Amino acid sequence: MQLNRFDLNLLIALDALLQEKNVTRAAERVFVSQPAMSAALQRLRDYFGDPLLVRVGRDLQLTPRGLSLVGPVREALLQIQATIGSQPTFDPRTVQRTFTLIVSADALLRVMPAVFQRLANEAPGIRCHIEHFSETTLSRLEYGDADLFIGLNSLRLFGLREFPESLRIVDLRPVRWLCAVAQDHPSVGDTITAEQYLRLPHLFGWPSGHTIPLEELVRRLLSADLDVRATTQGLLEIPFLLAGTQLVATLPEDLARTLAKLAPVKLLPVPFETPDTHEVVIWHRRNEPDPGHAWLREILISAVTSQGSSRDGAGGPP
């Protein structure tokens, strides 16, 4: 690219057009008028010698050249943002900043209260926007739409063989699974057999945004074929929906034990070996040199590790 011929201000418009694939929405995204965005698109078409966006029916679709620009253009803008936005010194007492965190239901209850407490005491100008896990979690980290993810490391859950090299992953702790059933379940007593677990109907958390079939999601997470009769978008409500039913739910151990204090359920070990699962924190490597990002990462990791130490000192979970 000959930069002396390219107006770098057009990068912002190009990124918006590539992401939105719609001139009006792209204009709204970067707070310019629709005619101004149309003019920018024409200049970009002239520069690249390619239409970039073409009409297919009622919609605009990216040309092959447009598709090839999506990742590099977004990455270039994010690198510029990280370079300009990062400060050599970071004072949590005075900084004004918002972080977007994607947090599992387990970590939301177990970790985030301690994080919020530290932020209130040490960094009152930092705000956190919390999102639920979805199939787009990793792409949101890749494209800079989210800053951190704390949750399960299950590659099978993401449908991947390995994590992208652009992401930094820190292992926090192993995650065990428990079965939850109604306290007065008609056929499950103090234990549940593998035959019962596979035969009984299940209530399963199915996050929004997943495009893979539910049955495949269950296999990826638990390596089992279950008779799922009901689903919810989250996990927090599941124990409260089991009363008076024959349903079985499978939840992370810490989350299950916390919610069992509030709901009339009993908890039992899963009656077979489940895939090895750990809780991790993930972020994009471009954020490594950002002192504010590093400070928040330390807060999150410290909240998890200190909790583990407290549990060990208390003799482990009941």
pLDDT tens track for 11-25:
888 888 888 888 888
Distance CA 109, CA 107 (A): 5
- Cβ count near 310 (within 10 Å): 9
At 73-131, the pLDDT tens digits run: 887 777 776 666 555 678 899 999 999 999 999 999 999 999 999 999 999 999 999 99
At 227-256, the pLDDT tens digits run: 999 999 889 999 999 999 999 999 999 999
> What predicted TM-score, i.e. pTM, was given to this entire model?
0.72
- Cβ count near 187 (within 10 Å): 10
pLDDT at 83: 65
What does the pLDDT average to over 215-219?
85
- As annotated, the residues of the chain forming the CATH 3.40.190.10 domain(s) are 97-174+278-313, 177-269
Q: Which range has the top average pLDDT, 54-68, 128-142, 185-199, 285-299?
A: 185-199
Distance CA 229, CA 215 (A): 11
- If you classify domain 177-269 with CATH, what class do you get? alpha beta
Name the CATH code of domain 97-174+278-313 (choices 3.40.50.1100, 3.30.930.10, 3.20.20.70, 3.40.190.10).
3.40.190.10
Q: Could you name the CATH architecture of 3-85?
A: Orthogonal Bundle (1.10)
Instruction: Work out the percent of the chain whose per-residue pLDDT is above 70.
Output: 89
- As annotated, the residues of the chain forming the CATH 1.10.10.10 domain(s) are 3-85
Instruction: Work out the percent of the chain whose per-residue pLDDT is above 90.
Output: 46
Structure-token pair, residue 299: 């807060």
Q: Is the pLDDT of residue 317 over 70?
A: no
